[in-house]
Chains A and B, each alone.
Chain A
Amino acid sequence: MTQTRDVFQAIADPTRRQIIGMLAQKSLNVNTIAKEFDITRQAVSLHVQFLSDCGLIEIKQQGRERYCEAKLERLNEVTDWVNQYRKYWDHKFNSLDTYLAKIQKKKK
């Protein structure tokens, strides 16, 4: 399936950038992350889920706690303009393919 969430969306948000920054230093559980922010734990949890969906962090169950670990190698995808351009068009071609499938289905 087409991946709808990517690294660019992940880093577009300041809260998520801050979470990545925290996790870059060490793995943390969601509660510890949430304490650093003025927003609700649920909101932080959604950001964490988003980062996980993008592959930027991995969530590991340890006993009763869920620990978040940064997968920083994925950040290398966004280090320069050429990569952004490539990613942008990869994504647009997916949209284009999906749209083509839709209009061909209608015709039949």
Chain B
Amino acid sequence: MEKHNTFRQEDNILIHTRILNAPRELVWEVWTNPEHIKEWWGPDGFTLTTKSMTVKAGDVWDFVMHGMGRDWDNKIEYAEVKKPSLLSYKHTGEKSDDYNFTVTILFEEVEGKTLLTMKSVFKSKAIIDELNRQVNAIEGGKQTLNRLVDYVKTLVNQ
């Protein structure tokens, strides 16, 4: 089953595949029911409160993440909903619209299990490159880290 767990980038799209050991209807349920989604969504150590969730194209999942000493408002807008095989939503962040991206999840049945294909589509490849550069440039600690990585690269290239 390992071969089903893949990741790749195709231009402006990031594609994850993953096999889950559960029937498709159940996997759909844990993505679309607030009681289930709070059990696994979000960074480790965070809790989640759903304000509202209507899984229909054009409707939203409005939720708050609690962690690192504060609340983080989140909104996900559903773009396409085909139970139980396709779910697509748009992430809207605090940054400009350029950084928003659309996620499409395909749920397929494979020998009683579920093959998940998650595609994250960005406005352009340039946006992904820019995000990469920004992460590389984040404050002091990361700077140290980058120096370390550069150092390692010089060692490798010798």
- Bind each other: yes
Knowing A81-B135, A95-B40, the reply to whether A75 touches B14 (Cβ < 8 A) is: no
Task: Report whether B16 and A11 are in contact in the complex, using a CB–CB cutoff of 8 Å.
Answer: no
- The distance in angstroms between the C-alpha atoms of A80 and B130, with both chains bound, is 10
Task: Report whether A85 and B152 are in contact in the complex, using a CB–CB cutoff of 8 Å.
Answer: no
Q: Kindly name the residue among B5, B131, B148 whose own CB sees the greatest number of chain A CB atoms within 10 A.
A: B148
Q: Count residues of chain B with CB under 8 A from any CB of chain A.
A: 36
Q: Is A84 located at the chain interface by the 8 A CB criterion? A: yes
B21 to chain A, nearest CB (A): 6
B31 to chain A, nearest CB (A): 9
Looking at the complex, which of A30-38, A43-51, A61-69, A99-107 is the stretch in contact with chain B?
Answer: A99-107
Task: Report whether A99 and B120 are in contact in the complex, using a CB–CB cutoff of 8 Å.
Answer: no
- The distance in angstroms between the C-alpha atoms of A86 and B16, with both chains bound, is 8
Task: Report whether B149 and A81 are in contact in the complex, using a CB–CB cutoff of 8 Å.
Answer: no
Knowing A72-B152, A82-B132, A86-B7, the reply to whether A97 touches B20 (Cβ < 8 A) is: yes
Task: Report whether A75 and B40 are in contact in the complex, using a CB–CB cutoff of 8 Å.
Answer: no
Looking at the complex, which of B22-30, B51-59, B74-82 is the stretch in contact with chain A?
Answer: B22-30
Task: Report whether A85 and B14 are in contact in the complex, using a CB–CB cutoff of 8 Å.
Answer: yes
Q: Count residues of chain A with CB under 8 A from any CB of chain B.
A: 33
Q: 8 Å CB contacts to A: which residues of B30-80?
A: 30, 36, 39-41, 43-44
- The distance in angstroms between the C-alpha atoms of A90 and B118, with both chains bound, is 11
Q: Is B116 located at the chain interface by the 8 A CB criterion? A: yes
22 A/B residue pairs, CB under 8 Å, sorted by A: A11-B145, A21-B144, A21-B148, A75-B145, A75-B152, A78-B145, A79-B135, A80-B132, A81-B132, A81-B134, A82-B128, A82-B132, A85-B120, A86-B14, A89-B118, A90-B16, A92-B41, A93-B116, A96-B20, A98-B40, A99-B39, A100-B22
